[in-house]
Copies of this chain bind each other. A is one copy, B any other.
């Protein structure tokens, strides 16, 4: 399986030259699904097969297991089934969902043949888009908790909250437990101010592609997009947009900029 990007492209080209008709290339990286579609078509013309596999589970995948989202022609994916079955996490101790009797048994093993070439990475892309939104929802909630004690609030409306404990208690019977909350509770238990982090947040391609897909489909995706934009903003001192605002305010109101606040 291969990493994403130009190296992938070159490697695929190099591999293709060495392969024989009927051989299969599996791209298990974070490839843009439209590149899969293009490549799959090009390789098919040369008698070669292409299968895209999005995997999720992070660095804990080996321990926790990781699910696979697969795109490719049915006979090819079926042929490779032993590989996917061996890699899949298996049903483990995750409770079964009722109403799934008679459905594709591979799903509960932790892998899915989502559709033709590209579908695997498409589904993985949306997984990551959702992940951004979930992360941002928690992050904003904890931010409001953290700022519940600021001086701008009336004295009897301020709370000095222990957010490490709050994160932990929400793991125990609330409506919002998740693995992401587990990770947050763990990070806060070790350092409740998170002052070892600066707050510069990278984004991978998937978050951007998810927004592109939403736009292409005319699906309103406010939350997934806002989550992406927050990351963009986190990497700047100030945007040019903010300077425009300041310039306008100086123009119509003679407003001067305030000193920087923490």
Complex CA–CA separation, A58 to B176 (angstroms): 11
Q: Is the CB of A156 within 8 A of B241?
A: no
Chain B residues whose C-beta falls within 8 Å of the C-beta of A130 in the assembled complex: 137-138, 140-141, 176
A230, CB-defined interface residue at 8 Å: yes
Tally of chain A residues near chain B (CB < 8 A): 158
Complex CA–CA separation, A143 to B243 (angstroms): 9
Copies of this chain present: 4
Within 8 A of B (CB), among A158-177: 159-162, 164-166, 168-177
Q: Is the CB of B172 within 8 A of A245?
A: no
User: Which among A119, A152, A161, A173 has the greatest number of chain B C-beta atoms within 10 A?
Assistant: A173
Least CB separation from A178: chain B residue? B178
A29, CB-defined interface residue at 8 Å: no
Q: Is the CB of A224 within 8 A of B137?
A: yes
A24, CB-defined interface residue at 8 Å: no
Q: Is the CB of A175 within 8 A of B180?
A: yes
Q: Is the CB of B219 within 8 A of A253?
A: no
Contact code string A216-260 (vs B, CB < 8 Å = 1, else 0): 111111111111111111111111111111111111111101111
Q: Is the CB of A235 within 8 A of B208?
A: no
Can you report 11 residue pairs joining A to B where beta carbons are below 8 Å apart? Answer: A67-B169, A95-B182, A103-B165, A107-B168, A126-B141, A126-B145, A127-B174, A139-B242, A148-B213, A198-B243, A199-B240
Nearest 4 A/B pairs, CB to CB: A133-B137, A199-B238, A199-B242, A178-B178
Given contacts A67-B173, A143-B219, list 9 more A-B pairs with CB under 8 A.
A67-B172, A110-B172, A126-B144, A131-B175, A144-B221, A153-B216, A194-B244, A194-B247, A198-B260
